[in-house]
Structure 1
Amino acid sequence: MTTPVPPTGGGAYAPDAAATDRLVTHDRPDVGDTSLGDLIGNVTRDLSTLMRQELALAQAEVKQEVSKTAKGAGALAGAGVAGFFVLMFLSMALYAGLSNVMDAGWAALIVAVLWAVIAGALFVVGRQKMQQVHPKPERTVDTLSNVPDALKGNRGGSA
């Protein structure tokens, strides 16, 4: 919208000749014919829509992070169950095999050390999966930080 500088003439406002040639431009819609109640209603509706959209974005982000967490926890639980059964059967087989070659106490110690190494590796993998989870909805926090600027009339967020 283009707003011309008021024309010269009698009265309190009398700009110089250069001022009458300048135009002020705005990127805002013409609200000259809109009532104050309608403007407040539009702002209220827009804020309500914005908050609903931000809430939906936050829910989507949290759902995505919960899904990652569930997959990591499922992998850890599966590794734990599988590890238990493997530990139980292979330990018995290895112990029985080693006890034919050496003293039973040394055979049991070797089997225990072997499974301690495997448990450590499973722990490292599970911890790495859990560290990939970001419980804070990053995009929502970022867009919500732009809301105060938008209410002031700035469109680009922080400068």
Structure 2
Amino acid sequence: MQNTKERSLGELFSELSRETSTLVRQEVHLAKVEMSEKASEIGKHVSTLVIGGAIAYAGLLAILAAAIIALAEILPDWAAALVVGLVAAGLGYFMLQQAMSALKNVDMKPRETIESLKEDKEWIQEQTS
């Protein structure tokens, strides 16, 4: 490659254009990869939420029936159903809150891309000054 002093202004701008184009493509690729990773993490939490909800529901139905029948031996039927329903609802609420809390903690900002873009901006400013 020629010494910078020997190259024309057109050659320098042409090289800067090529390097900037490559840099932009690399940044777009980085952003895609980073957002894909974040979407995958969210998918894991959502699937845990759905599976947890389905299991809780199926188990809840069986346990509710058994518990209501058992409590109906010592309480009126309506009271047995109410007690069992409140306990089951509380447990389900706890599980849903755990999953929602995990989803809220997922950071969706593409931090690596943002940092890399800042570095690229500095590099471009150095090249053009």
1:146 equivalent in structure 2: 119
Determine which of 13, 32, 55 is the counterpart of 2:5.
Answer: 32
Percent of aligned pairs sharing the same letter: 25
Q: Distance in 2 between matches of 1:77 and 1:133?
A: 17
The 2-side partners of 1:48 and 1:150 are apart by: 13
TM-score (norm 1): 0.74
Structure ID, larger Rg: 1
Please tell me whether residue 48 in structure 1 is matched to residue 21 in structure 2.
yes
Name segments (4+ residues, structure 1) moved above 3 Å. none
- Stretch moving more, 70-79 or 131-140: 131-140
* Larger relative contact order (CA 8 Å, sep ≥ 6): 2
Q: Distance in 1 between matches of 2:105 and 2:88?
A: 26
Q: Does 1:127 align with 2:127?
A: no
1:109 has 2:82 as partner: yes
Q: 1:59 aligns with which of 29, 32, 35?
A: 32
- Aligned partners of 2:45 and 2:102 also within 8 Å: yes
The alignment of Structure 1 onto Structure 2 pairs a total of residues equal to 126
1:125 Cα deviation after fit: 0.9
Cα shift at 1:82: 0.7
- Residues in 2 aligned to 1:101 and 1:128: alpha-carbon distance in whole angstroms: 39
Q: Which residue in 2 is equivalent to 1:84?
A: 57
- Tell me the secondary structure at the aligned position of residue 6 of structure 2: coil
Segments of 5+ residues of structure 1 without an aligned counterpart are 1-28, 155-159
Gaps of 5+ in 2: none
Note if contact 2:30-2:113 (Cα within 8 Å) is conserved in structure 1: yes
**Aligned-CA RMSD value:** 1.6
Structure 1 partner of 2:68? 95
Partners of 2:115 and 2:95 in 1: CA distance: 35
TM-score by length of 2: 0.89
| CA distance in structure 1 between the aligned counterparts of 2:3 and 2:106, rounded to whole angstroms | 47
Q: Which amino acid aligns with 2:117?
A: L
